[in-house]
Amino acid sequence: MAQKNLALVTGANGHLGNNLVRLLIEKGIPVRASVRNIKNKELFSGLNCEVVQADITDKQSLINALRDVDVFYAVGAAFKLWAKDPKKEIYDVNLEGTKLQIEAAAEAGVKRIVYVSSIAALDYSKIPTKENYGYNSDRRDMYYNSKNDGEKLAFELAKKHNIELVAVLPSAMIGSEAFAPLNVSYNIIYLILKKQIPVETNITLNWIDVKDVAEGCYLAATKGINGERYILANEKCTSIKNTTKIAQELFPELKIKMPMAVPKAILFTIAWFMEIGSKISGKAPLLTTKDIAMFSGLQQDFDISKARIELGFKPKSSEKAVKEAMKYLSENENRFN
């Protein structure tokens, strides 16, 4: 017999996906968790949920995973800012994944989708940024493009197939627990603790606890208005410099130095050399010329009153989230080395 109120979470072994699965179980909601590789089950040990195989680029696997599902949390996506072939490995995967997830949900008879977009899909021309300012017009980054175009496509297809869809737009997710490999945002905290950010880039991040984002996803499912988008972030962003200050205060014994201010031209040169190294090694560079061009000096400040009022979203402060993340990484260092 089909379970009532069954929820499916794609990308369930990722940072947000796994925290969301745990939150839904705590709330007594029957959960089906989908992973791309069914052998990756260690994150679900002891959890009362069904684990199934599904790939966001394989429609039939999604249809199978979505059978009898009422609420679909579309979390699964390629979350990386660098790839050898960014169009193919990031943009195409995310656009195709969005299309197939919505089409499969329509075929499986799903009633409601919470689509996980990103603050990458916001217009930053006015600060603080709001949901109704529209989409990001900066087209220099394939991940950003995939989030802008993916969210628009999700709304179009949901309307076409007559499915309720609410989009949530999280910022840089960290928190009091992490799973290897660390996501892009969490890795920055790790690099600060490892003293591997020697120069000031003037890049800011809007830190948010992943557990607050998971709660925001659940609130969007239960209270979100069909066709609307909600920013799940904190009001103010934090520079890497100020994030480093928090680390200095928490761990004086590590003697973490402040990143050194250098002219932008030198930053571009450093990033250029890092990119050349990455082309050889195949590993993502610490810094790219595009990162500096797009993000140096960008203020990621948000007006989150819509999520507060309509969803009851109440995130903990960025500073608290950063401190908890740093303590966690420090106590579990051997897991991420």
Task: Give the separation between CA 264 and CA 261, rounded to whole angstroms.
Answer: 9
State what percent of residues in the chain have pLDDT above 70.
99
* pLDDT band for position 130 (cuts 50, 70, 90): very high
SS (H, E, C) 161-201: CCCEEEEEEECEEECCCCCCCCCHHHHHHHHHHCCCCCEEC
The backbone torsions φ and ψ at residue 52, rounded to the nearest 5 degrees and listed phi first, read: -125, 165
Burial category of 50 from C-beta neighbours within 10 Å (exposed 0-12, middle 13-18, buried 19 and up): middle
Domain at 7-181+207-235+299-315, CATH class: alpha beta
* pLDDT band for position 40 (cuts 50, 70, 90): confident
Q: What residue spans define the domains of the chain? A: 7-181+207-235+299-315
The backbone torsions φ and ψ at residue 13, rounded to the nearest 5 degrees and listed phi first, read: -105, 10
Q: Are strands 172-174 and 260-261 parallel, antiparallel or unpaired?
A: unpaired
Does an H or E element contain 60, and which?
A: helix 59-65
Is the pLDDT assigned to residue 206 strictly greater than 90?
yes
**How much is the average pLDDT of 40-54?**
93
| The pLDDT value given to residue 3 | 73
Task: Give the separation between CA 267 and CA 269, rounded to whole angstroms.
Answer: 5
| The pLDDT value given to residue 332 | 92
- Residues 53-97: tens digit of each pLDDT: 999 999 999 999 999 999 999 999 999 888 989 999 999 999 999
The backbone torsions φ and ψ at residue 165, rounded to the nearest 5 degrees and listed phi first, read: -140, 130
In this prediction the pTM is: 0.96
**How much is the average pLDDT of 10-22?**
95
